[in-house]
Copies of this chain bind each other. A is one copy, B any other.
């Protein structure tokens, strides 16, 4: 398929970018042409590593830029900046900031005549899609989202930023009793804090006050306050040996009613060995979609809600209809 493949650039080479660079070979119509990075990085693929400042020179050689930076500081800046010169996809996951981020990327994309899809991971992303579809189909019902068991990289970083902490891993663990209640159709609404426990494994610096660290974790607003939080201090070796993988998963559970008393359960369940590799794979499917959207003349920023599913698949519409409908 060389020559007709969609030319992809990857911007950022952390866990997510490295995952995208590895997984792209499973997408027969996509081709990695360059990796863009702030710092020099060693990569396994035989493509150039380009300094971020020089990305502009690549704007005619790349069809879609996959933005793999973090949502805290990288994407708020890079999203709008790249959207002017490139079609982009990203997994921006700061829920509260999504509307303003979307507006900024949309404005840049329109100014440059390009197309972007934002927040296209699994949550936000696939889970968001399911929340919309489940609620549309069974309006008399309730949707609840459970995350885990899995490593939350944002929460792990928040712990690492505390004084006296050398390293840390935080697992989000859903409460299975509450999950089963959500599945049963009981009209109970739980806060995120009631649905989840936060389990923290922390390596403290020698001589650090572990009582103070534990308190600071448990009281951290937005991240841990309001959650049942457990803190365990362990050795650096234990952390490396037993907590260095990045599994994740979760469920979107919608329980709805029809007629007088008929109850229906819809659930999307994910169990992921590698959160970054799975998220990277979703981004690549949406990279294909944004290319097609742009080829149809659409301009501006979109979300997963706006994309016809046919755009995600490698196969033609006719093949999908014959084989999968």
Interface residues of A (CB under 8 A from B): 19, 22-23, 26-28, 95, 98-99, 102, 119, 124, 126, 128-129, 131-133, 135-140, 249, 258-259, 261-274, 277-278, 280-282, 285, 288, 303-310, 312-314, 317-318, 320-322, 324-325
Contacts and interface: CB of A to CB of B under 8 A. Distances in A.
14 contacts: A28-B139, A135-B324, A139-B281, A258-B277, A259-B277, A261-B273, A262-B273, A262-B277, A264-B272, A265-B269, A265-B272, A304-B309, A305-B320, A306-B310
Nearest to A246: B262
Given A98-B325, A281-B137, A263 B273 contact: yes
A133 to B, nearest CB: 6
What is the copy number of this chain in the assembly? 2
Given A99-B322, A132-B312, 9 more contacts: A95-B325, A126-B133, A137-B278, A137-B282, A137-B312, A259-B277, A267-B268, A267-B269, A268-B268
Contacts of A135: 313, 324
Given A27-B139, A133-B309, A136-B314, A325 B273 contact: no
A145 to B, nearest CB: 10
Contacts of A138: 278, 281
Contacts of A272: 262, 264-265
A270 B277 contact: no
Contacts of A288: 136
A152 to B, nearest CB: 18
User: In this complex, which of A139, A140, A263, A280 has the most chain B Cβ atoms within 10 angstroms of its Cβ?
Assistant: A139
B265 A270 contact: yes
A274 B303 contact: no
Contacts of A28: 139
Contacts of A321: 98-99, 102, 303, 305
Contact of A324 (B22, B131, B310, B314): B131
B132 A310 contact: yes
A100 B234 CA distance: 64
Contacts of A314: 136, 139
A266 B138 CA distance: 21
B270 A258 contact: no
B281 A128 contact: no
A305 B285 contact: no
A19 B258 contact: yes
Nearest to A139: B26
A314 B140 CA distance: 12
